Structure 1
C-alpha cells in the first residue's frame, strides 16, 4: 500500500507546476484550504504541502481523484498525473473491482469453480434466488443509477420508469430485521429519494465468504461464521465498505446475558476484514429503534462519510 507520505508527494508534484499566483485558486477549486501564513512565491512545493499535510488517508485518496480529474490531459502535468493514478490503482482493495458480486440472496446458491486457476465461478443451482452484478464497475464505484439500470434492463424497465421501484422491492426481500429495514429506508430516502442517484448503492446481504455446506450439514459448526455482510458500499475512492447492523445476538447469549466470547468473535472478524483492506462501520440496534432515530443516525454518518470519500451529494438536513 502506498504510504501517506508518498501520496502527499505525488499530489504535491502534480500541483507544483501551477503558477504561484494561481495556486490559491487551484487549491480552492480542489476543496483544499490554502495556508495563508505562507507565500506561494517563496516555495510552491511547501505551500501545497502545508495545505494538505493534515489530511487523513481517505481524504487524501478523494483529493487525489479530484486532482487527476482536474489535471488529466494537461501536458505540463502529464507525467505526475500518471504516477498519481498508478499509485491509486495499486491502493484500491485488490487493485481492482470485485471479480464476483453476489448479493440479496433469498436462498444459498450452489457455487462451482469454472476455472480454478483464475478463480472464475459459476452458480450451478439457485441463481434465481440471488443477484449477480456482472457489469464492469467504473471509477464512480457502484452507484444507484448503475445498479437500477442493470436491474431494469432484463425487465424492460427504464431507470425512471419503474426500475428504481422494482429494485427497492427486490432488495428489501432479504432484510433480516426491523433495524435493517429502517436503516435501508433511511439510506434510500437520503440518496435515491433526494435525487442523489450517483451515491453508492446500498447492497444487502453481500456474499463475502462461502461454505458449500450449511452449519447443519457440518454438525452445527460453520466453517465460516460470517459468510454474508449486512450491507456493502463500493465507493468512488475504490473502497469496499461494510456496514453491519448489530442486534443483541452479536454480543449476548440466547437468555440475554452478555457473552464475551461472541463479542470477541465479532471484533476479531472486524480486524481480519480491515487487514484485508475493507472499511467496517457498525450500527447498534439501539440507534435504529425508530425510523426517526435511524434517519438521524444515517444522516450523521453520511454527512461525514460522503465528503471523506469524495462523494458530492446533497444530503437532506
Structure 2
C-alpha cells in the first residue's frame, strides 16, 4: 500500500512540474487508438515485467486487468493504465518502453515508431534514435521545434494585389475585403489536426461557389483559380505549382494544399510611412500547413530579389535574409529556391525530388 501512495505522490510532483499541457486528452485518445491496432504491446517480456518498469509493483495501475492473448481488451487496458490522465513524464516513459529493442523485434519496433511519431509531432515531441547496440536502435522522446504559436484565423491568399480590407468585428477578428473581392481568397475555417489538406480547401471552395465538394469539376475550378493568381512573369513559380499537382495527381487530395500568394503581414501604412519599424515580408510565394503550428513557406527568387537591373543590391539581399530570420524565429520552416533552378525538365525533377524528401522529413507520406 505504501508504494501505491508513493506513486500518487510522485504523480502529483511530476504534474506540478509541468508548465503546460503538451499531450491533450484528444492527443492521448489518438495515441490509445493507434496503439490498439499494433502488435502485443508487452513484447517478449510480458505485461507484469513491462509495467513494473513504469508503474511501481503493488500500485493499482500495475494491477490493471491484462488483455487476453487475442488482445480484444487492449484498448480497455490502456484506459485502466490511466494513460488519459497520468503525468506527461510517465506517459513519455511508457512510450519509450514500447519501442525498446530489448522487448520487441525490429519489424514491430519500426511499426510502433512509424505509427506514433506522426501523432507525437502534433504535440511537439518525437521518438528519435539516440544510440545503437548490436545493430538495433534505441529511441528516446525528444522535443522538436514547436512551430508557430497561436492558430490561424484568416488565411488571405491567391492574390497578387494588396487586399483592401477592414475589420468588421475586431473582437472576433472578422475581416471584410472591401474592393476586388474576386481577386482575394480568405480561408476562415479551423485548421484540422492533420493540417490543411486539399480536400479541406476544396470543401471550403465548394461552399463558397455552390459546387459539389467531391466533383472533378470543383477540383479543376479551384486549381485554375489558384493558378491564375500566380505572376505571369514568373515561370518558375508556375512550374513549382503545376509540378506539385502533376507529381501527386493520384493522391494530392489527401496531401497538404499548396497555397499561392499568401499574405503574412498586413499594415495599413506604407513602408515609407512606417519607416524602420515596417514589417519585412508582406507576402509569401507559397504556404503549406502540416498542422496549425507546423507551417512551411516556399520562396522562389528571381533576380529582382537581390539585384536592380542586373546589378547586385546588397541592401535587398540583407532585407530578404532578415525576413527569413524573422520567419524562422517565429517557428516557420522556410525553403528558398533560385528561379534559375526551376526551369524546364531539370526544374521539374528538382521539384519532384524536393517534395518527396519534404514529405518524408515531415511524416506526410
TM-score (norm 2): 0.62
Unaligned runs of 5+ in 2: 1-18, 21-87, 115-126
2:248 matched to 1:197?
no
Q: Which residue of 349, 353, 365 corresponds with 1:296? A: 349
Rounded Cα–Cα distance in structure 2 between residues aligned with 1:146 and 1:235: 12
Rounded Cα–Cα distance in structure 1 between residues aligned with 2:354 and 2:216: 30
Q: CA deviation at 1:179?
A: 1.0
Indicate how the Cα distance of structure 1 residues 213 and 283 shifts in structure 2: closer, same or farther if over 3 A, else same: same
Indicate how the Cα distance of structure 1 residues 134 and 33 shifts in structure 2: closer, same or farther if over 3 A, else same: closer
Indicate how the Cα distance of structure 1 residues 33 and 245 shifts in structure 2: closer, same or farther if over 3 A, else same: closer
SS at match of 1:197: helix
Indicate how the Cα distance of structure 1 residues 158 and 129 shifts in structure 2: closer, same or farther if over 3 A, else same: same
Q: CA deviation at 1:166?
A: 0.6
Residue number in structure 1 paired with 2:204: 150
Q: CA deviation at 1:111?
A: 1.9
Q: Is the 8 A contact 1:237 1:310 kept in 2?
A: no
Residue number in structure 1 paired with 2:153: 99
Q: Which residue of 171, 175, 185 corresponds with 2:242? A: 185
Q: Which residue of 225, 230, 240 corresponds with 2:295? A: 240
Q: CA deviation at 1:302?
A: 1.4
What is the total number of aligned residue pairs between the two structures?
262
Q: Which has the higher contact order (CA 8 A, sep 6+)?
A: 1
Which has the higher Rg, Structure 1 or Structure 2? Answer: 2
Residue number in structure 2 paired with 1:167: 222
Indicate how the Cα distance of structure 1 residues 246 and 140 shifts in structure 2: closer, same or farther if over 3 A, else same: same
Q: Is the 8 A contact 1:233 1:241 kept in 2?
A: yes
Higher share of residues assigned strand? 2
Rounded Cα–Cα distance in structure 1 between residues aligned with 2:213 and 2:314: 50
Matches within 5 A, 1:226-305: 226-236=281-291, 238-254=293-309, 256-290=310-344, 292-305=345-358
Q: Is the 8 A contact 2:191 2:291 kept in 1?
A: no
Q: Is the 8 A contact 1:149 1:163 kept in 2?
A: no
Unaligned runs of 5+ in 1: 40-46, 59-90, 313-317
TM-score (norm 1): 0.71
Matches within 5 A, 1:19-58: 21-22=103-104, 24-29=106-111, 30-31=113-114, 37=133, 50-52=138-140, 57=144
RMSD, aligned CA = 3.5
Q: CA deviation at 1:162?
A: 0.8
Q: Which residue of 13, 20, 23 corresponds with 2:94? A: 13
